């Protein structure tokens, strides 16, 4: 029979070691006391079985009643803690005094007739045991234990009915050791001689409490959250397991999502419409893509940041946790910054447009001033600028012809920026004439070869002037286009032009387009040394010039623009 108690003592020590391994600072202190006292009590039962004198048996008996007097108290207090019921300090003090009083009578056994009226010792089948008759203090101890059991079951039944923040499974588990321990006091009459049921009930209680503390890792929201944030109270927490069953939430979370206060622990989250439209909706997106772990929730002029993370029990994932923080100030600040940036961008764009417009007017004024020195080309600047617009419009319309676009504009293709730059650069194409001597520039007749050489210098001089005017501008693409238009608009496709005698694609595309506008205006406009050509004669000359003077690939854009050109010059 002695081996029975030794085995139970070994099991109680083993279970306590397991508890120590999984112990966490948030575990209820009373649970730790239960695991500390049970091996001591079971050791006392083993010592009782192996005792060979009355004195040794009395010492062992006094230790066994530590379980009856104090383990019952610790179990009761742990039940209150696990059911989230605050036990007043004075109540705890009263219960402790009751247990201490009853144990004081236990200590009197063998010295006074309070607990045992009479006591003797015998060895039965190798097992030592006391032969005694009970005194009033023994009855008092049973009353104390019975009172603790009644209090414990009242707390557990109340939690089952009223409290939503406690798992029903935990409450049922708590009922088991409380019930078994209580019944064990009356079970000895049904057990074989020499077998006490109490140490077995204690080992059973340890096993159940191990299951309970394992579940505490899920249900204790404080344990799983960041302690400092919870104490500060500005972060909400909501926890669910992998089956999407509700594990708990703190007060902050329930203020943001009031419906959480009415959800019972262990309830399937998906049964609530409010949860489906918020937390579970975001969780679904998180499951599909874990990078999508931040969401915003607006309610009552507040903007909350919802962050989803895995719920960990040590190194093991046990579910999901939602962190809720008030991000109103930050979001409003970002919105203010965004609005300010939009306003600032709009103002910058407006001022830039004004500067560009002023810049273009200045260039046009300069070009007009230069043109005023040449009494043979009145209105040429304005007209060629309009012709360029017509040609560019037709090129834009045909941008779907990818093959031709590739041939004309290369891999970069036709861009809106390029088209705008050509139109803006057109008035600058003859700025170089400012350097041509008046005697040549204002000559009413045809130039001599020497005079023509002087006139041809305006192209290179124009490029120099344009480059000087636009030096330092951030608009590098316009700078390049404007210089090319001024420099190369008199070059010919066959290489017979000036000033560089460039041939074919050596001539920048913007200068090739400018050449068409420049020549067409010269043909259909009256000059001091010639009359204007008719549209038919001018068109014939133009068509014959494609492939010689002009890029053949630009012919179709000239043809497409011709009706507008003729209408334009008819009105002018």
- Residue 292: the pLDDT is 87
Q: 2-218 has which CATH code?
A: 1.20.1070
Per-residue model confidence as pLDDT tens digits over 151-182: 989 999 998 888 887 888 888 888 887 788 77
Between CA 308 and CA 279 the distance in angstroms is: 9
Higher-pLDDT residue of 183 and 377 is 183
Is it the case that residue 372 has pLDDT exceeding 60?
no
Give the global pTM. 0.48
Does position 310 have pLDDT exceeding 80, yes or no? Answer: yes
Give the model's confidence band at 338: pLDDT under 50 very low, under 70 low, under 90 confident, else very high. low
- Work out the widest C-alpha separation in the chain, in whole angstroms: 153
Q: What is the DSSP string of 149-160?
A: HHHHHHHHHHHH
* Domains 223-326 and 346-571 are alike in CATH topology: no
Give the pLDDT confidence of 11-42 residue by residue, as tens digits: 999 999 999 988 876 678 888 999 999 999 99
* pLDDT tens per residue across span 388-414: 999 999 988 887 777 787 777 776 678
Per-residue pLDDT reduced to its tens digit, 55-74: 998 999 899 888 878 888 99
95-129 pLDDT per residue, tens: 999 999 999 999 998 889 999 999 998 887 778 88
The predicted structure's pLDDT at residue 457: 84
Tell me the range of 36-40, 84-88, 381-385, 470-474 where mean pLDDT is highest. 36-40
The residues pairing with 221 across neighbouring beta strands, listed in sequence order, are none
Residues constituting the chain: 572
Q: Which helix (H) or strand (E) holds 302?
A: strand 302-313
Which stretch of DSSP H or E encloses residue 479?
Answer: helix 476-488
Identify the sign of the CA torsion 270, 273, 278, 282: positive
Contact 261, 254 (CB under 8 A): yes
Q: With CA atoms as reference, report the closest residue to 256 among 211, 295, 284, 288.
A: 295
pLDDT of residue 221 exceeding 60: no
C-alpha 472/C-alpha 487 separation (Å) is: 19
Instruction: Quote the CATH superfamily of domain 223-326.
Output: PAS domain (3.30.450.20)
Residue 528 and residue 530: Cα distance in Å, rounded? 6
Domain locations in the chain as residue ranges: 2-218, 223-326, 346-571
Indicate if the pLDDT at residue 376 is higher than 80: no
What CATH superfamily classification does 346-571 receive? Hypothetical protein af1432 (1.10.3210.10)
The larger pLDDT score, comparing residue 124 to residue 287, is at 287
* 496 neighbors 505 (Cβ within 8 angstroms): no
Q: Is the pLDDT of residue 373 over 70?
A: no
Rounded-to-integer distance, Cα 568 and Cα 572, Å: 6
Is 477 in contact with 418 (CB distance < 8 Å)? yes
Mean pLDDT of 536-545: 93
Cβ contact 247:265 at 8 Å: yes
Which of the 8 DSSP states describes residue 292? -
Q: How confident is the model at residue 192 (pLDDT cuts 50, 70, 90)?
A: low
């Amino acid at each position: 029979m002695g081996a029975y108690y030794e085995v139970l003592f070994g099991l109680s020590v083993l279970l306590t070691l397991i508890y120590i391994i999984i112990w966490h600072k948030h575990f209820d202190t009373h649970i730790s006391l239960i695991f500390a006292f049970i091996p001591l009590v079971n050791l006392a039962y083993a010592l009782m079985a192996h005792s060979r004198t009355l004195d040794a048996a009395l010492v062992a008996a006094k230790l066994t009643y530590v379980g009856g007097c104090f383990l019952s108290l610790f179990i009761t207090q742990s039940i209150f803690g696990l059911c989230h019921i605050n036990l007043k300090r004075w109540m705890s003090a009263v219960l402790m005094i009751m247990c201490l009083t009853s144990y004081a009578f236990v200590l009197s056994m063998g010295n006074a007739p309070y607990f045992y009226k009479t006591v003797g010792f015998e060895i039965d089948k190798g097992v030592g045991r006391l032969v005694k008759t009970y005194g009033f203090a023994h009855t008092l101890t049973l009353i104390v234990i019975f009172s603790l059991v009644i209090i414990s079951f009242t707390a557990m039944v109340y939690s089952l009915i009223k409290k939503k923040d406690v798992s029903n499974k935990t409450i049922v588990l708590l009922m088991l050791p409380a019930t078994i321990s209580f019944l064990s006091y009356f079970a000895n009459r049904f057990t074989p001689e020499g077998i006490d049921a109490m140490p077995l009930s204690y080992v059973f209680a340890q096993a159940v409490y191990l299951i309970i503390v394992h579940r505490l890792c899920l249900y204790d929201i404080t344990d799983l959250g960041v302690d400092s944030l919870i104490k500060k109270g500005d972060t909400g927490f909501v926890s669910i397991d992998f089956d999407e069953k509700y594990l708990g939430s703190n007060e902050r979370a329930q203020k943001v999502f009031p419906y959480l206060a009415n959800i019972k622990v262990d309830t399937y989250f998906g049964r609530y419409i409010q949860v489906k439209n918020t937390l579970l909706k975001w969780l679904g997106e998180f499951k599909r893509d874990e990078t999508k772990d931040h969401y915003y929730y607006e309610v009552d002029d507040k903007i909350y940041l919802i962050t989803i993370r895995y719920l960990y029990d040590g190194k093991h994932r046990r579910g999901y946790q939602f962190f809720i923080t008030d991000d109103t100030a930050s979001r409003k600040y970002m919105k203010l910054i965004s609005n300010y940036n939009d306003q600032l961008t709009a103002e910058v764009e407006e001022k830039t447009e004004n500067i560009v417009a002023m810049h273009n007017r200045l260039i046009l004024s300069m070009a007009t001033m230069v043109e005023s020195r040449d009494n043979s080309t009145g209105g040429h600047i304005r007209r060629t600028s309009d012709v360029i617009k017509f040609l560019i419009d037709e090129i834009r319309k045909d941008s779907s012809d990818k093959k031709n676009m590739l041939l004309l504009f290369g891999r970069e293709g036709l861009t809106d920026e390029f088209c705008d730059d050509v139109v803006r650069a057109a008035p600058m194409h003859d700025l170089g004439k400012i350097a041509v001597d008046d005697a040549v520039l204002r000559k009413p007749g045809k130039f001599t070869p020497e005079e023509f050489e002087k006139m041809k210098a305006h192209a290179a001089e124009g490029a120099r002037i344009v480059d000087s005017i636009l030096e330092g501008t951030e608009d590098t693409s316009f700078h390049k286009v404007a210089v090319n238009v001024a420099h190369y608009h008199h070059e010919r496709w066959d290489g017979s032009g000036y000033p560089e005698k460039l041939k074919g694609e050596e001539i920048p595309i913007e200068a090739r387009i400018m050449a068409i506008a420049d020549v067409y205006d010269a043909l259909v406009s009256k000059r001091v040394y010639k009359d204007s050509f008719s549209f038919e004669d001018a068109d014939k000359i133009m068509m014959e010039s494609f492939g010689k003077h002009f890029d053949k690939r630009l012919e179709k854009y000239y043809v497409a623009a011709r009706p507008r050109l003729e209408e334009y010059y008819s009105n002018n």
